[in-house]
């Protein structure tokens, strides 16, 4: 746990300054959530304490709209209850001093809010949260939301839950070790982009995508079911391009890299690989037959082809080196090393402590 000099001079106070420039999301943002405006053009709020509430706290920072939130502290913020975000905010986790900032023991909720940008934030619910029906991050009913370079772990209901969403992006993030239902992400609604993410040791929903979707340059490891649709939430279009699925010790049916993608769904699938050998060697094969879905001959989304700039093999290398919050911490390093075993290690957990990591499994910041 570290505090910057600025924060020590301003403990207990909220410091605001005017932002003079504005842009959609941030340079390099991709997908449907890239139109989020966040707190661009608003004021800057400095988080100066790791306390759950009060002046200078994260909870106070997200209580108002039109804010750019920066961090003068590092370490875990331990929630006493779920924290609700306001619309039109940007959470800049990359501004925290090393080793970075995290939220633990409760849900971060953007439910029914809009125009939210979250970058370089660790959200790790775990079973210290008694609310088993909540998730690490909830954006039900939200629109124009982008999560980028985030690390989401130990979700109880889902790691990420978003029913009734419009225009969301989850990019360059690590979604690992869900407990409880052991589900990665449940997304239903309008348009969703999943780009450059690392999904590790989930039973299912990596993601469950009942939306018109882009699923590009993702890596999924130790799945029991990976990209999932089902027909219970409507008929949608799916661009599934240059992803790598790698079976692990918990993978019981290796062909479940596509799961319940039934007739009526429309899929453009190209350049996807599955390594099902569990032999410690990176040796996947092309797998572009997606259930009984209607086969599209071109991507349904106009920017999918350009977004798929890396082959599945190159995506594996890039994602393992770059996904998640920066700097990479103990939990994310463990997730990456598990994937690097290429089928030899990994399990689906029921609680974070079973990982054997410090701080009761949450890792130390």
Handedness of CA 51, 54, 55, 57 (dihedral sign): positive
Residue 205 appears among annotated catalytic residues? yes
How far is the C-alpha of 332 from the C-alpha of 3, rounded, in Å?
A: 22
The tokens describing 80, both together, are 């006493």
Q: Which of 167, 212, 158 is nearest to 185 (CA)?
A: 158
How far is the C-alpha of 100 from the C-alpha of 149, rounded, in Å?
A: 12
- Cβ burial of 1 (10 Å; 0-12, 13-18, 19+) is exposed
Classify 229 as helix, strand or coil. coil
Identify the active-site residue in 67, 119, 124, 205. 205
Classify 200 as helix, strand or coil. strand
The tokens describing 299, both together, are 């991507």
The tokens describing 275, both together, are 């390594």
How far is the C-alpha of 222 from the C-alpha of 276, rounded, in Å?
A: 10
What are the counts of helices (DSSP H) followed by strands (DSSP E) for the chain?
A: 5, 27
Q: Which residues contact 254 (CB under 8 A, 6 or more apart)?
A: 247, 274, 276
Per-residue H/E/C for 3-36: ECHHHHHCCCCCCEEECCCCCCCCCCCCCHHHHC
Half-sphere exposure in the Cβ direction for 89 (13 Å, CA): 25
What one-character-per-residue DSSP string does 113-180 give?
-EEEEEES-EEE--TTSS-TT--SEE-TT-EEEEEES-EEE--SS-SEEEEEEEEEEEES-EEE---T
Complete edge-to-edge strand list for the sheet that includes strand 151-153: 75-78, 101-104, 122-124, 151-153, 174-176, 198-200, 219-221, 244-246, 273-275, 285-286
**Catalytic positions:** 205
């Amino acid at each position: 746990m570290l505090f910057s000099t600025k924060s020590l001079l301003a403990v207990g106070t909220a410091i605001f300054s005017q932002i003079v420039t504005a842009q959609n999301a941030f340079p390099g943002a991709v997908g449907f959530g890239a139109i989020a405006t966040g707190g661009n053009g608003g004021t800057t709020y400095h988080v100066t304490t790791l306390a759950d509430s009060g002046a200078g706290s994260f909870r106070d920072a997200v209580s108002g709209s039109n804010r750019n939130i920066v961090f003068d502290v590092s370490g875990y913020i331990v929630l006493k209850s779920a924290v609700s975000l306001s619309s039109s905010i940007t959470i800049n986790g990359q501004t925290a001093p090393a080793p970075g900032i995290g939220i633990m023991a409760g849900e971060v909720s953007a439910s029914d809010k809009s125009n939210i940008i979250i970058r370089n934030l660790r959200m790790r619910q775990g079973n210290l949260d008694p609310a088993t029906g909540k998730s690490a991050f909830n954006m039900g009913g939200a629109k124009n939301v982008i999560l980028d370079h985030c690390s989401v772990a130990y979700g109880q209901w889902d790691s990420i839950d978003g029913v009734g969403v419009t225009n969301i992006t989850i990019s360059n993030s690590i979604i690992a070790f869900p407990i409880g239902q052991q589900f990665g992400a449940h997304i239903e609604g309008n348009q969703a982009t999943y780009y450059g993410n690392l999904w590790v040791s989930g039973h299912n929903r990596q993601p469950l995508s009942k939306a018109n979707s882009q699923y590009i340059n993702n890596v999924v490891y130790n799945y029991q079911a990976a990209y999932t649709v089902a027909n219970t939430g409507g008929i949608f279009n799916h661009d599934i391009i240059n992803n790598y699925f790698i079976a692990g010790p918990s993978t019981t049916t290796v062909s479940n890299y596509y799961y319940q993608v039934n007739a009526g769904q429309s899929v453009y699938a190209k350049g996807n690989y599955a390594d099902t050998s569990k032999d410690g060697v990176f040796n996947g094969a092309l797998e572009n037959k997606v259930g009984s879905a209607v086969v599209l001959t071109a991507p349904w989304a106009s920017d999918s082809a350009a977004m798929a700039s890396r082959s599945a093999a190159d995506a594996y290398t890039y994602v393992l080196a770059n996904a998640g919050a920066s700097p990479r911490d103990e939990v994310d390093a463990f997730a990456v090393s598990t994937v690097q075993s290429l089928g030899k290690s990994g399990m689906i957990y029921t609680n974070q402590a079973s990982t054997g990591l410090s701080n009761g499994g949450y890792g130390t910041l």
